[in-house]
Each structure stands twice: as structure tokens, then as C-alpha cells.
Chain A
């Protein structure tokens, strides 16, 4: 069975500081990996995705993530946080389960940005 672990339910950074949100996954086959962002009272929006092409994936709003198979990780980073980055972030994996690719989400990390 596949699973996703997001380390830290809350991450707090100062504006301009590095953002690092951690995601580890388990999957029996090479997975598809995603990061989504959720702003208050909205649905989720795709930030970026890994689908077995380049291991460093660039997304919207200056975010990027690196797929590391040896570490089963897909951490999300942004060099300089902006106040508008404050939101809930979800890591997700789509791995093969019973013949179908079933998506599984992590529990989410709330990013708090201080002025």
C-alpha cells in the first residue's frame, strides 16, 4: 500500500526566508508525485508534479521540488517566502494499487509567514 508522510503540521518562516516543506512517500512502483496548495475556504490547486521525467520539478509561484528515489522524498522548497505563500500545502502520491493508480494525500502542512 502507498502512503505519504508530511513532516510538521505547521511550518513558520519569516518573509524572505527559505521555505522547506518535507514529504516522504512509500510506493511499490515508481509513483507520480504532486504538491497542491489550498488557500482558506478554497479547493486545492496544483503547484507542481513529478511524472518520471526530470527529478527537479519547477512549479508555479517560484516553488520547486526534487524527487529523490533513494530517500523516497519529494520535498518542496522556495528560496524566498512571501506573505502570499501562507496556505495549507499537501503532498500526494498516485501509485499502482490493485491495477489502478489511486491518489493518496498527506495530512498537510500549514505554512505561516511572518513579516
Chain B
């Protein structure tokens, strides 16, 4: 099993550009999450999906959108990138939202 995979691993964007971060899991988990990690801030939840086809906002959703069309995939979109979105993004999955999470290796995004 590959677990949770994320693509790309690194990305540099110019302000105003758009992109989609991809996340896939092969553990048949119902719940998936997107976090951003910034120095001294821990992990902050951007969006989560409790099941295929449903999504909910987390703590810091502004400037992002998500899509969960298939159970194994959770996409995070940036429509118009801003320097404040420079961060490391982690995707995670779990059997249910209450239970332990399995994390991907992260995507390091820089917006100039």
C-alpha cells in the first residue's frame, strides 16, 4: 500500500496564478483533510471531507476550494495564489473524523 500520496512535492507560483494540489489514498478511508503548516502555527485545517461528495470548511478556508468526486481523491485548488499562501500543505485521511489520521509527505508551495 502506498498510503497517502501527494503531488507535486514542490511548486513555485507567481501571484495570481492558479493550481491544484492532488491527494490520493488507497486505504479506503471515508474522511480526508487538507492542512497547511506554517512555522510556529502548527497544523491548521483548511477543508475536510467526511465522505465522498461532501466537503466542509475548516479553520482557514479563504482563498482555497476543494473537490472530493472520488472516495480515494481529495483535490485542493488555489484560484489566485497570494504570497500569504506560501506554506507546506499536508493531506491526511482517516476511517472516520474521530480517529487517527494518516498523512502524506507534503507539498511545499512558494508564491512569489
Contacts and interface: CB of A to CB of B under 8 A. Distances in A.
Interface in A29-87: 32, 34, 36, 41-46, 49, 51
Interface residues of A, number: 23
A1 to B, nearest CB: 10
16 contacts: A9-B40, A34-B100, A41-B106, A42-B105, A42-B106, A43-B92, A44-B92, A44-B101, A51-B99, A94-B98, A100-B50, A101-B98, A103-B33, A105-B35, A105-B42, A107-B40
List of 5 A-B pairs having minimum Cβ-Cβ separation, nearest first: A43-B103, A101-B98, A107-B42, A105-B43, A101-B97
Interface of A: 9, 32, 34, 36, 41-46, 49, 51, 90, 94, 100-108
Interface of B: 4, 33, 35, 40-45, 48, 50, 56, 58, 90, 92, 96-106
